[in-house]
């Protein structure tokens, strides 16, 4: 079954349910330094785009390489009501087309969740960077 196409959402109209998903992401990933309200502000000011689907939401941003000026479509946040349904894989063709039409050079997803690696690598994604960090004590 073909997934429904994500639609650009209005953060003002969608915030009540999106905020719950953002707070869930922040609770699961305490290394993230932004607040839920920062996501709202980034979308409101046009620095990020909210995409909604029946399964959840994606917030994307543009990341520009400072040396080549090539733009990357960055999936900043992704949240689903039901986990484990490979939504990133399911929506990759859609976002690939969006990125291609907008002149982006790459798609990028960052996540500390190792389980998505096996799905992405099987779908033509490559590991670019894995970030690990340790607090200095």
pLDDT of amino acid 132: 72
Q: Measure the CA–CA gap between 123 and 39, rounded to whole angstroms.
A: 28
Position 42 scores a pLDDT of: 98
Q: What is the pLDDT of residue 137?
A: 80
Q: State pTM to two decimals.
A: 0.88
Low-confidence ranges of the chain (pLDDT < 50): none
CB 121 within 8 A of CB 88: no
Report how far residue 32's alpha carbon sits from residue 29's, in angstroms, rounded to the nearest whole number: 6
CA distance to 1, 8, 80, 84, per residue, from 76 (Å)? 26, 15, 14, 18
User: Does residue 64 sit in helix, strand or coil?
Assistant: strand
């Amino acid at each position: 079954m073909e997934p429904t196409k994500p639609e650009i959402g209005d953060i003002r109209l969608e915030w009540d349910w999106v905020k719950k998903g953002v707070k869930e992401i922040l609770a699961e990933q305490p290394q993230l330094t932004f607040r839920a309200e920062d996501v709202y502000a980034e979308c409101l000011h046009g620095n990020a785009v909210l995409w909604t689907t029946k399964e959840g939401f994606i917030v994307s941003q543009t990341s520009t390489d400072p040396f080549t000026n090539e733009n990357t479509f960055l999936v900043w946040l992704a949240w689903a009501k039901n986990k484990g349904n490979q939504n990133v894989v399911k929506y990759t063709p859609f976002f690939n087309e969006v990125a291609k039409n907008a002149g982006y050079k790459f798609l990028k997803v960052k996540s500390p969740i190792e389980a998505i690696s096996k799905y992405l690598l099987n779908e033509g994604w490559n590991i670019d960077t894995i970030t690990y960090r340790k607090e200095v004590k």
